[in-house]
A = this chain, B = another copy of it.
Amino acid sequence: RSLRIGLIPGDGIGREVIPAGKKILESLPSSLGLSFSFVDLDAGFDCFKRTGAALPDKTVKTLKEECDGALFGAVSSPTTKVAGYSSPIVAMRKSLGLYANVRPCKTVLSPAFASPTKTPIDLVIVRENTEDLYVKEEKTYPDPSDPTGKAQIAEAIKRISSKASWRIADIAGQIALRRDKMRQASGSGTSHTKQGMVTITHKSNVLSQTDGLFRSTAREALSQPHFNALKIEEQIVDKYYDVIVAPNLYGDLLSDGSAALVGSLGLVPSANVGEGIIIGEPCHGSAPDIEGKGVANPIATIRSVGVMLEFMDLPDAAEVIYKAVDASLAEGKLVTPDLGGTATTQQVTDDIIKRL
């Protein structure tokens, strides 16, 4: 099978980790029968400064017409407002129909660094990717209670549709079934994980209409007969999770929280999934503080390559990558500074490649 992959490094360390992801694809064992070709694509703040567009039409067109998958790095946010600029990630997710952001968070044991939690974590956040406050409809007006006319009020719309809520719950259910099957097959899993489970996150006690619609629609979607084997729970409390399905914004905040629980944002991958192309994307940002030093952790990107391949129906290729990453961490000789080590992006990438 021959696959064409778009590479969108973006800004900052995006330019250091996306090449690592590319190398991993090029180094996959030939027994998998996969061959890859690549196309470099432009997006981000630097692109905006050069071309006037944060997400050039050509990038979207190439992704749509030519690519099976893509890897997206990160984009910088200017520290002060820049007229006309807005992060291209949100626009890209919407324009390509990438309605789900899938974020697996898993504890790895490594002699190099202590797991921040006592109990290992192994969960997937399935984040709705197109609506909620990310519709970005805002307005600002003078605060009528302020006679000086200086005080302001700003409003944003949070929009939740039953359509988007249904399809995100549906894909979360499918992911939970698949995880369950894999646990059964591998004989892993504890008493907790005997059964696949989806936890629906919402604040319908406060937002009865918007989050209420998300909750009731997700419940309905997950009560379809083919999800009978799954346990369906609600809300986020302090206990065991398997798959968490969340509206866009809660999903964003939850995954930052879960990243802290596995040790570093530099470890957490994601994939944007929808009707066509799959885009892998590390959960970290452009990290201007370490940009250009060659020490960005490539693992979030390398794992994102795995998640991308999983959703391209290539679970075996994904598994090869995950195992190589785990083996490298389990040895723990080469880890980047975010995990307390001194290795470079390149050294970690090479160490993983030799284990593929």
If over half of A's interface residues share one DSSP class (helix, strand or loop), that class is named, otherwise mixed; here it is mixed
- A314 at interface by CB-CB < 8 Å: no
Which residues of B are found within 8 Å of A156, using beta-carbon distances? Answer: 157-158, 207, 209-210
- A237 at interface by CB-CB < 8 Å: yes
Tell me if B151 and A161 are in contact (CB < 8 A). yes
Tell me if B238 and A90 are in contact (CB < 8 A). no
Find A159's partner among B86, B145, B153 (CB 8 Å cutoff).
Answer: B153
A76 to chain B, nearest CB (A): 9
- CB closest residue in chain B, given A90: B206
Which residues of B are found within 8 Å of A155, using beta-carbon distances? Answer: 157-160, 209-210
- A261 at interface by CB-CB < 8 Å: yes
Which residues of B are found within 8 Å of A237, using beta-carbon distances? Answer: 265
- CB closest residue in chain B, given A289: B237
Which residues of B are found within 8 Å of A136, using beta-carbon distances? Answer: 206-207
Tell me if B261 and A138 are in contact (CB < 8 A). no
Tell me if A145 and B163 are in contact (CB < 8 A). yes
Tell me if B117 and A154 are in contact (CB < 8 A). no
Which residues of B are found within 8 Å of A81, using beta-carbon distances? Answer: 208, 212
- A276 at interface by CB-CB < 8 Å: no
Q: A157-B157, A265-B237 are in contact. Are A209 and B139 (CB under 8 A)?
A: yes
Which residues of B are found within 8 Å of A154, using beta-carbon distances? Answer: 159-161, 209-210, 212-213
Measured between alpha carbons, how far is A155 from B87 in the docked complex, in Å?
23
Which residues of B are found within 8 Å of A118, using beta-carbon distances? Answer: 114-116
**Considering residues A87, A117, A143, A146, which has the most beta carbons from chain B within 10 angstroms of its beta carbon?**
A117
Measured between alpha carbons, how far is A154 from B118 in the docked complex, in Å?
40
- A31 at interface by CB-CB < 8 Å: no
Tell me if B138 and A163 are in contact (CB < 8 A). no
Which residues of B are found within 8 Å of A163, using beta-carbon distances? Answer: 143, 145-146, 151
Find A153's partner among B119, B151, B152, B162 (CB 8 Å cutoff).
Answer: B162
A90 to chain B, nearest CB (A): 7
Which stretch of A61-69, A95-103, A251-259 is in the interface? A251-259
Tell me if A238 and B213 are in contact (CB < 8 A). no
Tell me if A206 and B133 are in contact (CB < 8 A). yes
Which residues of B are found within 8 Å of A207, using beta-carbon distances? Answer: 133, 136, 138, 156
- A327 at interface by CB-CB < 8 Å: no
Tell me if A87 and B161 are in contact (CB < 8 A). no
Tell me if A140 and B209 are in contact (CB < 8 A). yes
- CB closest residue in chain B, given A77: B205
Which residues of B are found within 8 Å of A150, using beta-carbon distances? Answer: 162
Find A256's partner among B145, B153, B161, B236 (CB 8 Å cutoff).
Answer: B236
Measured between alpha carbons, how far is A264 from B207 in the docked complex, in Å?
25
Measured between alpha carbons, how far is A300 from B87 in the docked complex, in Å?
40
A74 to chain B, nearest CB (A): 12
- B interface footprint on A201-233 (CB within 8 Å = 1, 0 otherwise): 001111111101100000000000000000000
Which 3 pairs of residues, A with B, have the shortest CB-CB distance?
A: A138-B209, A257-B257, A77-B205
- The 6 listed contacts between A and B (C-beta, < 8 Å) are A116-B119, A143-B161, A150-B162, A156-B158, A156-B210, A238-B259
Given contacts A156-B157, A238-B264, 6 further A-B contacts (CB under 8 A): A140-B209, A140-B213, A157-B157, A158-B158, A203-B249, A237-B265
